[in-house]
Structure 1
Amino acid sequence: MFKLLLIEDDATLFNEIKERLTGWSYDVYGITDYNSVMKEFSVVKPDLVLIDIQLPKFDGFHWCRMIRSHSNVPILFLSSRDHPSDMVMSMQLGADDFIQKPFHFDVLIAKIQATLRRVYNYNTEQVTLKTWCGATVDYEKNTVSNNAGTVELTKNETFILKKLIEQKNKIVSREDLIKSLWEDERFVSDNTLTVNVNRLRKRLEELGLGRFIETKIGQGYIAIEEANGYD
């Protein structure tokens, strides 16, 4: 049974969501003290976090940032705020998805299921280490390492890099990435993928690898691996 932490201060909505998710065999926890969110997070050790933006004490962006500083657990935002900047901010902070309230419960379930399958199933393949452009990519630990150091990636960033490396030197369309990453592109905005790829490239730049992820306008993305010494 997967453990979900629902950070939602509206008691009525919390109870409604918890009841529905429990019916799908998820173990749902809430926050009892908004002065101790990270302490309760550490105690629960959730497999996935659902979080609202407007919360007591600090907003959801703050807690997303705090969680990301300690864990790569998948995070889904649930919010009635509909400004594009809120979605962009959530992605930049490391969230995996943004679901606007009011939402159809089937959409919420689909997003949760797709995220859990992606995060906890894809890295069970036999190959967990990959050499690319002189760096070692660890799909299980979500890290990329070379002589310049090691950077940690989110689950989404690792998944995107893995998909690109699997077809290195070939263009992977945005549609294929969206379908593979979120399993159903109907629920995903095109901008979400852009934010994730830009964040991945920024992390890789710390190792001097940012230039090896290229954008092909109107087509998709490509992971370049030069033949001279890298292949």
Structure 2
Amino acid sequence: MFKVMIVEDDLKIRDIISEHLLKWRFEPSKITNFENLDEQFMVVKPHLVLLDINLPIYDGFYWCSKIRQLSNVPIIFISSRNQNMDIVMAMNMGGDDFIQKPFSLEVLTAKMNAILRRTYTYQQEEKEVIEHRGLILNLNKGNISYHNSEIDLTKNEFQILYLLLKKKETIVTRDEIMQALWESENFIDDNTLTVNIARLRRKLEDLGLIDFIETKKRQGYMIP
């Protein structure tokens, strides 16, 4: 049974989500004290976090960055905010997806199941690492290494790089990547993919891998 940490300031929404997840055999943990969320995270040890942006004391962006210092667990933002900058900020802080209120509980469940499948099945399906041009993608740890330096990846960054490496020397379209990430391109804003690609490239550059991912104009991306 997957543990889900619900960090939502609206009591009614928090209870509705919790009751719905119980029906789907999740184990929800409702947060009611919004201080020291990072410490509560370590106690709950969730498989996935549902995180609102508007929270007392510190906002969801702050707590997302704190959680990212502790874990690569999937984080889905749930918010009434709908500006592109909010979505970009959520992704830059380490979020894996963004759902705008009001939302369908069925869509929420579908997104959660998709991201949980992506996150927790690789160890059973693949060998431990993928190597290309000196870069090592560790499938168990969810990080990359190059010349004895390591950097952790978010779930989306990991999946993007995994797909590009599996299809190296072949152009992968944006639609293919979005389908792999969210099962259906209808579930994701195109701008969110751009943010994830940019963030992944910055991490590769931090390791010294410049232009490791090539952009093919009007076609997609490729790792040569």
Cα distance in 1, alignment partners of residues 34 and 172 from structure 2? 43
Q: Which moved more, 1:12-21 or 1:146-155?
A: 146-155
Please name the residue that 1:227 is paired with: none
Given residue 213 of structure 2, which amino acid in structure 1 is its aligned partner?
I
Please name the residue that 1:128 is paired with: 128
Q: CA deviation at 1:148?
A: 5.6
Q: CA deviation at 1:123?
A: 3.5
Q: CA deviation at 1:124?
A: 2.1
Superposed CA deviations along residues 1-36 of structure 1, whole A, max 9, x for unmatched, are 100000011111111111011111110002232112
Please name the residue that 1:73 is paired with: 73
Please name the residue that 1:229 is paired with: none
3-state SS of 1:136 partner: strand
Please name the residue that 2:6 is paired with: 6
Please name the residue that 1:19 is paired with: 19
Please name the residue that 1:154 is paired with: 154
Asked if 2 retains the 8 angstrom alpha-carbon contact of 1:76 and 1:95, the reply is: yes
Runs of 4+ in structure 1 off by over 6 angstroms are none
Cα distance in 2, alignment partners of residues 20 and 150 from structure 1? 39
3-state SS of 2:121 partner: helix
Please name the residue that 2:55 is paired with: 55
Name the count of aligned residue pairs: 224
Gaps of 5+ in 2: none
Gaps of 5+ in 1: 225-231
Cα distance in 1, alignment partners of residues 198 and 210 from structure 2? 9
Superposed CA deviations along residues 161-213 of structure 1, whole A, max 9, x for unmatched, are 11101111110011111111111211111111111111111000011113110
Name the TM-score, length of structure 2 as normaliser.
Answer: 0.97
Given residue 77 of structure 1, which amino acid in structure 2 is its aligned partner?
F
Cα distance in 1, alignment partners of residues 135 and 84 from structure 2? 35
Q: CA deviation at 1:126?
A: 3.1
Q: Which moved more, 1:183-192 or 1:42-51?
A: 183-192
Cα distance in 1, alignment partners of residues 81 and 20 from structure 2? 23
Cα distance in 1, alignment partners of residues 196 and 59 from structure 2? 22
Identity %: 48
Cα distance in 1, alignment partners of residues 163 and 23 from structure 2? 34
3-state SS of 1:172 partner: coil
Please name the residue that 2:204 is paired with: 204
Asked if 2 retains the 8 angstrom alpha-carbon contact of 1:8 and 1:14, the reply is: yes
Q: Where does 1:133-148 land on structure 2 (aligned, <5 Å)?
A: 133-147=133-147
Please name the residue that 1:38 is paired with: 38
Q: Which moved more, 1:61-70 or 1:28-37?
A: 28-37
Asked if 1 retains the 8 angstrom alpha-carbon contact of 2:136 and 2:146, the reply is: yes
Q: Which moved more, 1:98-107 or 1:116-125?
A: 116-125
Asked if 1 retains the 8 angstrom alpha-carbon contact of 2:122 and 2:140, the reply is: no
Across the aligned residues of Structure 1 and Structure 2, the Cα RMSD in angstroms comes to 1.1
Please name the residue that 2:165 is paired with: 165
Cα distance in 1, alignment partners of residues 112 and 55 from structure 2? 21
Asked if 2 retains the 8 angstrom alpha-carbon contact of 1:148 and 1:207, the reply is: no
Matched, 1:101 2:76: no
3-state SS of 2:25 partner: coil
Given residue 107 of structure 1, which amino acid in structure 2 is its aligned partner?
V
Matched, 1:83 2:110: no
Cα distance in 1, alignment partners of residues 126 and 153 from structure 2? 20
